């Protein structure tokens, strides 16, 4: 605009400081958006777009939202990946000299957004920070709502991408040391890239335990950004904790997705996942702790067995466990309550929730004292009931406080003598008003005369129009005319109104001051509350493990150092929950030290993928410290789990490609050790049959000869079953199926040896394909089986030299002209450019041609 108003000049100056954010500019009871923010915001938030200065040559686009409901609109924008800068009025407009002072008091971003409802209560929201020294990366992760701060050092780019994905981070803060290629990859993952504020003073946080300067720099990058965007006290941020992904069972993000540990692939929800089965936690912080444990199973046998022992103790003490569960139900989210206290967003109801939670701690301590395991004593030592905090809240705050902290009604009678005096004056004032109303009714003869109050006119006398003739004009002064009534005041009412309103205002101000002092007093005890929250969340997860193990008949697994894996009647916990225990068919997994690979064959939809996944889930549950879905289980400690799950079981809806398949296979082959677990489901099917068989066999041989990891490899290439004759550490197993009354029946049972055939046509029949088509397929199949040599057998016969092997061994025999013609056509045929159906038809024609020549 050629000439800006003072307000718009102020707006633009503030907006220029936050060009990448929607600026919510406070004007009275509304947040207004202007210019491009208004145009885009109106579209995203479905608001009516208006304009400021309608009659000007260039009207200013404008839209707004009430400040009381602004959070809903802010959440919508942040969920869509935008930032929002809140610009507040810093002084009372009535007392301002000139333009009201305004400033941004907070920037809300995807990584700094606090939890809003029960649906997100069990989820962490990590803001990550990243820096590099050229050889390594420092990565920090902060959940602003709980104050958890962790940091690790990584080497490779794919490790950074995997860790960001596992943390489910929506926003990452970087500095100039991070390579542009990595930033591009992060953006492709849908992560918002933000940049560290070099001028902001980072929040002081304990980092003395961090081992390298790179880790400390990662924390500084993260905290400088948080300080610049939040602009308030953040005393709840905990000391930085260093972790290393290699110290836990590694499960890359793709494997987590394939195994559906946290999210159902089809729906993205918790239902239908391992987390959904084992989560019987009673607190939000317990739910978050459970997810953290599932994402990072343990590697140290002693640590695992300590958890197992605690689960066993709770499992053996049913009544004590129930007492613990009942107490946990009344424990609110202590971690996020501590965060709200620190951030200044706490209200009276939050403090009552904190008090209620603290009253449950003595009950929890009593339960632990009844249990025998010494390990519970270590948790018991961390259960500080914070009795002083509980008492301070109990003495000060009413049992059912209002949501607002500025409208009064928060503080108990007797807490402040001065507040009681104000309240007494207000009470007497209300009594005086009631008496005045009766006196005026008697004096005027108006029985429906009422004394009322609003913020515009204060206290007034309201009289209906039919009674206006009875109004004493010498004492009554008209203040407002309505459709059906008129409002008046009197000198006595004005005088009393001043005293009452003064008492009300002073009472509200004093109550708020008393509340903030109490809040600041409790803020000093936040570290104690956070320590308590950590202990309670662990107890919650342990009782959840015990309860689930009892309900689903899980067994305590044993561990060994002999690379022996033996599971008796193992089950897939998610599938079993869907089908029911009566219908689910359990299976054994037996792999001694001398067995590295199980080659699994069997028809589609028979349960091969379920069998493979159930092993991975049993391993993960075991190393988390939970019991497992099996009668008995003896396991080695695995260091990594790799999965390459295909689309045949519809778990990834056909999204995989051959390139993705090969990349994931390569990652497993390159990174796996003899202590890893590899699950390959129908690897190699994304290319031609010969390529697929060749790659699958080569991968199996490489794992067998070089990696030695425990591997389950399912395949439809029956030629590969011959590998058992050449690879001593490979065993064939298959999923049983029988044909009954011309129908295929799946047994869902793993049996020794290879499958006798693939049953592909039988499965096609179950899918409802037309009978003529199936009959033709059977004819073609019979012809191919008669003519096609064993692929695996040919592959195992290494050529004597580097020369190409002849296709036909003819020797000195006279060559049939028909054979020569077929051979010539075969040499000229580009197999890779033809469809499988074309090739089968061509083979059929050649067969007819040769049979005709033989008949001649």
Please state the residue numbers annotated as binding site: 602-609
CA dist 188 and 177 (Å) reads 19
Give the Å distances, CA to CA, from 418 to 114, 326, 329, 412, 520. Answer: 37, 41, 38, 12, 21
CA dist 188 and 172 (Å) reads 13
What does residue 813 show for φ and ψ, rounded to 5 degrees? -70, 150
CA dist 9 and 452 (Å) reads 43
CA dist 246 and 288 (Å) reads 21
Closest of 251, 127, 239 to residue 192, by C-alpha: 127
Q: Dihedral sign for Cα 58, 59, 61, 62, please.
A: positive
Residue 494 exposure: Cα atoms within 13 Å on the Cβ side = 9
Provide the β-strand partners of residue 248.
298
CA dist 385 and 357 (Å) reads 9
For residue 231, what is the DSSP state? -
In the three-class reduction of DSSP (H, G, I as helix; E, B as strand; rest coil), residue 288 is classed as: helix
Q: Are strands 743-752 and 632-635 parallel, antiparallel or unpaired?
A: unpaired
Lookup: tokens for 241: 């904790």
CA dist 614 and 570 (Å) reads 7
DSSP letter string over 15-81?
A: HHH-TTEEEEEEETTEEEEEHHHHHHHHHHHT---EEESTTSSSPEEEEEEEGGGHHHHHHHHHHTT
Give the Å distances, CA to CA, from 489 to 436, 471, 494, 502. Answer: 12, 11, 7, 18
Tell me if 710 sits within 8 A of 566, measured CB to CB: no
Lookup: tokens for 34: 């202007």
Lookup: tokens for 273: 């996942």
CB under 8 A, 24+ apart: contacts of 186-189:
186/161, 189/161, 189/164, 189/165
Closest of 141, 112, 148, 145 to residue 245, by C-alpha: 141
Lookup: tokens for 54: 């309608």
Tell me if 332 sits within 8 A of 289, measured CB to CB: no
3-state secondary structure 379-409: HHCCCCCCHHHHHHHHHHECCCCCCCCCCCC
Closest of 452, 459, 493, 489 to residue 472, by C-alpha: 489
Q: Are strands 250-251 and 640-644 parallel, antiparallel or unpaired?
A: parallel
Tell me if 384 sits within 8 A of 362, measured CB to CB: no
Lookup: tokens for 381: 């030592």
CA dist 351 and 341 (Å) reads 9
In the three-class reduction of DSSP (H, G, I as helix; E, B as strand; rest coil), residue 511 is classed as: helix
In the three-class reduction of DSSP (H, G, I as helix; E, B as strand; rest coil), residue 83 is classed as: strand
CA dist 367 and 105 (Å) reads 46
Report the binding-site residues for ATP. Answer: 602-609
Tell me if 129 sits within 8 A of 163, measured CB to CB: no
Non-local CB neighbours of 836 within 8 Å, separated by 6+ positions: 689
Count of other CB atoms within 10 angstroms of residue 248:
18
Q: Dihedral sign for Cα 759, 761, 763, 765, please.
A: negative
CA dist 674 and 683 (Å) reads 20
């Amino acid at each position: 605009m050629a000439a800006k108003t003072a307000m718009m000049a102020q707006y633009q100056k503030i907006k220029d400081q936050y060009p990448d954010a929607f600026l919510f500019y406070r004007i009275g009871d509304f947040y207004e958006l202007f210019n491009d923010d208004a145009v885009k915001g109106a579209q995203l938030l479905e608001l009516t777009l208006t304009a400021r200065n309608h009659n000007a040559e260039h009207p200013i686009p404008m839209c707004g939202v009430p400040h009381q409901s602004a959070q809903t609109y802010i959440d919508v924008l942040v969920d869509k990946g935008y930032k929002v800068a809140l610009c507040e009025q810093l002084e009372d407009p009535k007392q301002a000299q000139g333009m009201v002072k305004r400033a941004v008091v907070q920037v809300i971003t995807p990584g700094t957004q606090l939890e809003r409802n029960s649906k997100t209560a069990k989820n962490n929201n990590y803001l990550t920070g990243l820096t590099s020294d050229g050889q390594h990366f420092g990565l920090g992760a902060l959940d602003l709502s709980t104050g958890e701060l962790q940091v690790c050092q990584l080497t490779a780019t794919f490790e950074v991408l995997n860790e960001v994905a596992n943390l489910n981070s929506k926003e990452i803060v970087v500095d100039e040391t991070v390579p542009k290629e990595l930033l591009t990859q992060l953006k492709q993952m849908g992560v918002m890239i933000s940049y560290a504020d070099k001028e902001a003073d980072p929040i002081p946080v304990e980092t003395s335990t961090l081992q390298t300067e790179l880790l400390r720099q990662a924390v500084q990058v993260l905290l400088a950004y948080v300080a610049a965007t939040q602009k308030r006290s953040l005393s709840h941020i905990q000391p930085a904790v260093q972790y290393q992904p290699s110290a836990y069972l590694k499960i890359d993000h793709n494997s987590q997705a394939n195994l559906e540990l946290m999210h159902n692939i089809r729906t993205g929800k918790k239902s239908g996942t391992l987390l959904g089965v084992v989560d019987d936690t009673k607190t939000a912080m317990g739910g978050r702790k459970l997810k953290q444990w599932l994402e990072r199973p343990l590697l140290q046998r002693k640590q695992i067995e300590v958890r197992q022992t605690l689960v066993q103790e709770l499992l053996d003490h049913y009544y004590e466990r129930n007492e613990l569960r009942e107490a946990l139900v009344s424990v609110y989210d202590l971690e996020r309550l501590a965060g709200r206290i620190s951030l200044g967003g706490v209200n009276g109801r939050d403090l009552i929730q904190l008090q209620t939670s603290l009253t449950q701690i003595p009950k929890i301590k009593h339960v632990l004292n009844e249990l025998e395991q010494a390990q519970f004593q270590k948790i018991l030592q961390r259960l500080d009931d914070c009795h002083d905090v509980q008492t301070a809240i109990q003495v000060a705050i009413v049992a059912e406080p209002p949501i607002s902290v500025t409208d009064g009604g928060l503080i108990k009678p007797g807490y402040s003598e001065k507040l009681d005096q104000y309240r007494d004056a207000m009470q007497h004032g209300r009594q005086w008003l009631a008496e005045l109303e009766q006196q005026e009714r008697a004096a005027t003869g108006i029985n429906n005369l009422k004394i009322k109050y609003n913020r515009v006119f204060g206290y007034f006398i309201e009289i209906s129009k039919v009674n206006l003739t009875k109004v004493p004009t010498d004492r009554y002064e008209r203040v407002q005319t309505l459709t059906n009534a008129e409002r008046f005041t009197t000198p006595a009412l004005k005088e009393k109104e001043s005293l009452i309103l003064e008492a009300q205002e002073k009472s509200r101000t004093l109550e708020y001051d008393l509340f903030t002092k109490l809040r600041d007093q409790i803020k000093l005890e936040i570290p104690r509350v956070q320590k308590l929250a950590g202990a309670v969340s662990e107890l919650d997860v342990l009782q959840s493990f015990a309860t689930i193990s009892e309900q689903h008949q899980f067994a305590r697994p044993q561990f060994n150092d002999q690379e022996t894996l033996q599971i008796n009647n193992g089950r897939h916990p998610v599938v079993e929950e869907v089908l029911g225990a009566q219908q689910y068919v359990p299976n054994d997994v037996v792999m001694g030290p001398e067995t590295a690979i199980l080659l699994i064959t069997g028809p589609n939809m028979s349960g091969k993928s379920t069998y493979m996944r159930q092993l991975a889930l049993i391993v993960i549950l075991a190393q988390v410290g939970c019991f497992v879905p099996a009668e008995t289980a003896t396991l080695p400690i695995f260091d990594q789990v790799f999965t390459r799950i295909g689309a045949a079981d519809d778990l990834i809806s056909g999204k995989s490609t051959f390139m993705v398949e090969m990349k994931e296979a390569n990652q497993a082959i390159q990174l796996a050790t003899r202590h890893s677990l590899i699950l390959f489901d129908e690897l190699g099917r994304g290319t031609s049959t010969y390529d697929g068989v060749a790659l699958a066999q080569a991968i199996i041989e490489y794992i067998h000869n070089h990696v030695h990891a425990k591997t389950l490899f399912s395949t439809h290439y029956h030629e590969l079953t011959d590998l058992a004759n050449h690879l001593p550490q490979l065993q064939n197993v298959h999923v049983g199926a029988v044909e009954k009354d011309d129908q295929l029946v799946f047994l869902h049972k793993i049996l020794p040896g290879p499958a006798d055939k693939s049953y592909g046509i039988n499965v096609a029949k179950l899918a409802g394909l037309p009978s003529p088509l199936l009959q033709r397929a059977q004819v073609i199949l019979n012809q191919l089986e008669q003519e096609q040599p064993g692929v695996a057998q040919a592959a195992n016969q290494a050529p004597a030299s580097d020369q190409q092997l002849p296709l036909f061994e003819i020797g000195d025999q006279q060559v049939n002209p028909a054979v020569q013609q077929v051979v010539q056509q075969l040499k000229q045929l580009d197999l890779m450019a033809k469809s499988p159906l074309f090739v089968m038809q061509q083979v059929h024609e050649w067969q007819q041609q040769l049979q005709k020549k033989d008949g001649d």
